[in-house]
């Protein structure tokens, strides 16, 4: 079972790996629907699996060019995971920012993730 703090660290790591540092822009503040939260949780779950595969691949090589290629491939797979879940990258990032900023939303997101395992 993931603690909220551990989960937040994983979620932040996945965001940085996929989409780079989050811009310091105000979130749009629109409420997150249950459907959006579900889609985001599904995308996040897939992103974490892709990240695990990436980490394993990186450990098997020391060649920087190969590592960079693996990173590019993983990033594209992560973007595809977001889009397959029915979101665009901007929407995914917005929901994740709101999840990080709102403890109640974080709890709902964590519950969704636990039900997916």
**pLDDT confidence of residue 56:** 93
CA 71 → CA 41, 50, 87, 98, distances in Å? 22, 10, 22, 26
Measure the CA–CA gap between 38 and 105, rounded to whole angstroms: 12
Under 8 Å between Cβ of 40 and 92: yes
pLDDT digits (tens, 9 = 90+) for 71-80: 999 999 999 9
Predicted confidence (pLDDT) per residue in 14-24, tens digit: 554 455 544 43
Residues 5, 13: contact at Cβ < 8 Å?
Answer: no
Alpha carbon of residue 60 to chain centroid: 24
* Average pLDDT over all residues of the chain: 82
Query: pLDDT by residue (tens digit) across 14-72?
Result: 554 455 544 433 355 678 999 999 999 999 999 999 999 999 999 998 999 999 999 99
For the entire predicted model, the pTM comes to 0.76
pLDDT at site 19: 52
Average pLDDT over residues 91-115: 94
Compute the Cα dihedral for 7, 8, 13, 18 and give only its sign: positive
Structural domain boundaries in the chain: 4-12+34-116
Binned at pLDDT 50, 70 and 90, residue 100 comes out as very high
């Amino acid at each position: 079972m993931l603690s909220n703090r551990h989960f937040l660290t994983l979620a932040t790591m996945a965001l940085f790996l996929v989409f780079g540092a989050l811009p310091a822009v105000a979130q749009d503040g629109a409420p997150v629907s249950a459907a959006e939260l579900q889609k985001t949780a599904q995308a996040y779950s897939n992103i974490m699996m892709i990240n695990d595969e990436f980490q394993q691949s990186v450990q098997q090589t020391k060649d920087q060019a190969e590592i960079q290629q693996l990173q590019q491939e993983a990033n594209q797979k992560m973007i595809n995971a977001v889009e397959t879940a029915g979101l665009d990258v901007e929407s995914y990032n917005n929901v994740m920012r709101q999840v990080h900023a709102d403890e109640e939303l974080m709890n709902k997101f964590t519950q969704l993730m636990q039900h997916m395992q």
